[in-house]
Structure 1
Amino acid sequence: MGRLKAVQPRLGAAPSRLRQAPSTEKDRNLQRRADQPWRSLYGLARWQKLRYACLMRDGWKCQQTGVVLMGKYPAPTSPVGDHIIPAHVFWFDGRQHLFWDPDNIQSVSKAYHDSEKQRLEKSGRF
């Protein structure tokens, strides 16, 4: 009986699905803007005016904790314009108008936004 020749694989090696982590904060922000298109909107004057109007409407008070928002970034009491329904939830299903809806924006403290709100969003209970 003859020997079988080595069978060549039909498929090549699959490319890695893992990305290399960005090395600098600037690279990280560029990657986040590419993955999450709404992030670039936070730099617009339109967003800044809307955020300020919502802070004025809410009396510069955190709508979740009641803390007066008088700090300057990065202080825990610095003001944050927070989307009640997060952008990552509504952006890809055709409801981009919610980004600019004042009724979907609340004034919260940076401390609340960076801890409790993020925990709620990650758990899916926003």
Structure 2
Amino acid sequence: MSKLHRLKANVAPLGPRVGFLAPGDEKDRDRVRRATQPWRAWYNTRRWKDLAQAVFVRDRYTCQRSGVICISKSPAPDSPVAHHKTPHQGDPKLFWDIDNIQTVSKAEHDGPIQREERRNPADRWR
């Protein structure tokens, strides 16, 4: 009997697709967003953390959309997220307005709210 020989692949590996992110590419996506949207750095400030905490206390750690009590730490679905009701898109007045921010659960923020924002891009980017 003769030995089997391995054949060379006839197809080259595919390059990255436009708009496609593999599960490990989230850091690259964040890097690009930080470079093109400098206001994202505001989320890392003490001022933002204090403002978000004030919103959580005001809302009694309760999701203002679903009524879920937000008692866990991220990334748990019932962890609190400070969500801008009206997208700010870099407008400091909207970003820092406590009346424009509400407590929502991470599950609500990452699910229904994100779907709504994708459906209504005009509202999202005004």
Q: Structure 2 length as normaliser, TM-score?
A: 0.73
Query: Which of the pair has more CA radius of gyration?
Result: 1
Task: Give the whole-Å Cα distance in 1 for the aligned partners of 2:79 and 2:20.
Answer: 33
Residue 28 of structure 1: aligned partner: 29
User: 1:28 Cα deviation (Å)?
Assistant: 2.2
CA distance in 2, matches of 1:21, 1:66: 33
Distance 1:100 1:24, change over 3 A: same
Instruction: Tell me which of 72, 92, 115 is aligned to 2:111.
Output: 115
Aligned residues: 104
Q: CA deviation at 1:26?
A: 3.1
Q: Is the 8 A contact 1:38 1:87 kept in 2?
A: no
Structure 1 residues 96 and 65: alpha-carbon distance in aligned structure 2, compared to 1, 3 A threshold? same
C-alpha RMSD over aligned residues? 2.3
Task: For 2:100 and 2:78, locate their aligned partners in 1 and report how far apart those are by CA, in whole Å.
Answer: 21
Compute the displacement of 1:106 (Å): 0.2
Change (3 A) 1:21 1:72: closer
Distance 1:80 1:123 in 2: 21
- Rate the CA distance shift 1:19–1:117 in 2: closer, same or farther, 3 A: closer
Q: Partner amino acid for 1:70?
A: I
Structure 2 unmatched runs, 5+: 1-17
Fraction of identical pairs, as percent: 46
Normalised to the residue count of structure 1, the TM-score between the two structures is 0.73
The equivalent of 1:63 in structure 2 is 64
Q: In 2, Cα distance between the equivalents of 1:115 and 1:32? A: 20
Pair 63,25 (structure 1): closer, same or farther in 2 beyond 3 Å: same
Q: Is 1:103 paired with 2:103?
A: no
Instruction: String of CA shifts for 1:64-106, please: whole Å, max 9, x gaps.
Output: 0000000111000000000001133xx3xxx431100000000
